[in-house]
Structure 1
């Protein structure tokens, strides 16, 4: 039986595998499927699974009372993030997209004071900067790949990161009134 800290670590590893798999699958499927169709299929499957989990836990789904919040979160986190990511993956490699996505923590820290009116601690900034330096060093050790991306692909992935950052910060804002599973 796993204790809570080991269970949490295992869940973080599984989440990372799923997120990284998104870039790899998106890169391989992007020539075969338009980004919007790929996005629709991905989220339709996810919605069915999540809806089943909500039904199994006997939770209510406050779609009508929280429609503004769900619409905004859905637009940013499901439509904009995923569509821009898949569109960007038609132009850049999965590893390049992953490297650009390492900027998400910085964008979250930039969005936090705007949306939540919270001050970001220097510890959070230092942690994010260490993360960025680590990703930079990791990719510096690889052979340079010519033609592994385009400026437009980089911009699309960067914009997807900004959308995800706002989605994350707004998710925190709405978490007081909306259950995370919902």
Structure 2
């Protein structure tokens, strides 16, 4: 019974990243959050990987080109786009768009890898797309024609596209999940350092900023990965992946608890996205794409 608890905690921590990140970007830049998140998380993740997985570090370092590419996509580009988007859209909208990632990955696998989907699989993809479009247009689908869509939501579309590319590439990497994540985090910290110096990245200056960064480092960056990978020891990745739908639910609950009501469009869009993801995940034939570090979404 421990695995379901671990999976729920992991998704809860990732949900918090949307809400806390949304608050943090009002005073800190996306680069501030991204750089310090990975810099502070790098050493604990490396220690966790070393003692939990006992990898052959020489063999891991030999895969540096793939790790560098994955770090650029999954750690740097995705995270920067996520925090930049949260400066322009709500945490709920960002999480709803992110929830469409599994369907997008299936489409990319079909286009790029020649994988097949059934009619119900395509129906799920269309449902998820309709849900996202409802959120993007605030229920006014005619806004698509005029391209009147919020900048932050366009950034989130870019973020999940980057995540899709990351996932397609990462599935081929034969490195233990925590080790792969730790190395990508370390590489992100190193490669972002010149930009951090050039753009005068700053540490938190207020208690609110400090607590926000502390949450981002401890919970979605460390705790979520630990619980997720512990759960994967006894839970199939496909089953665990269904728990990712809880991110939308938890984000909505946290947002409402903090005093921001949900709209009917957000609720309808969320239902369509989750239903679409479930249909797509259950009805795809062939080998489903899985990330090397499953579930990293925030």
Partner in structure 2 of residue 152 of structure 1: 151
Query: Helix, strand or coil for the counterpart of 1:173?
Result: coil
Tell me the TM-score normalized by structure 2. Answer: 0.49
Partner in structure 1 of residue 55 of structure 2: 59
User: Are 1:92 and 1:153, in contact at CA under 8 Å, matched by a contact in 2?
Assistant: yes
How far apart are residue 43 of structure 1 and its match? 1.7
How far apart are residue 45 of structure 1 and its match? 3.0
Q: 2:25 aligns with which of 16, 24, 30?
A: 30
How far apart are residue 44 of structure 1 and its match? 2.2
**Stretches of structure 1 lacking an aligned partner (at least 5 in a row):** 140-149
Partner in structure 2 of residue 119 of structure 1: 115
* Count of residues paired in the alignment: 166
- Distance in 2 of aligned mates of 1:33 and 1:87: 10
How far apart are residue 127 of structure 1 and its match? 5.1
How far apart are residue 32 of structure 1 and its match? 1.6
Q: How does 1:1-182 map to 2 (within 5 A)?
A: 2=1, 7=3, 9-57=4-52, 58-61=54-57, 62-115=59-112, 117-122=113-118, 124-126=121-123, 151-174=150-173, 177-182=174-179
- Distance in 1 of aligned mates of 2:76 and 2:42: 13
Residues 132 and 86 of structure 1: is their aligned pair in 2 closer, same or farther, counting only changes over 3 Å?
Answer: same
- Distance in 2 of aligned mates of 1:129 and 1:48: 42
- Distance in 1 of aligned mates of 2:127 and 2:9: 22
Query: Helix, strand or coil for the counterpart of 2:153?
Result: helix
Which protein has greater RCO, CA pairs closer than 8 Å, 6+ apart? 2
Query: Helix, strand or coil for the counterpart of 2:70?
Result: helix
Residues 120 and 60 of structure 1: is their aligned pair in 2 closer, same or farther, counting only changes over 3 Å?
Answer: same
**Stretches of structure 2 lacking an aligned partner (at least 5 in a row):** 136-148, 180-298
User: Cα RMSD (Å) of the superposition?
Assistant: 2.8
Tell me the TM-score normalized by structure 1. Answer: 0.77
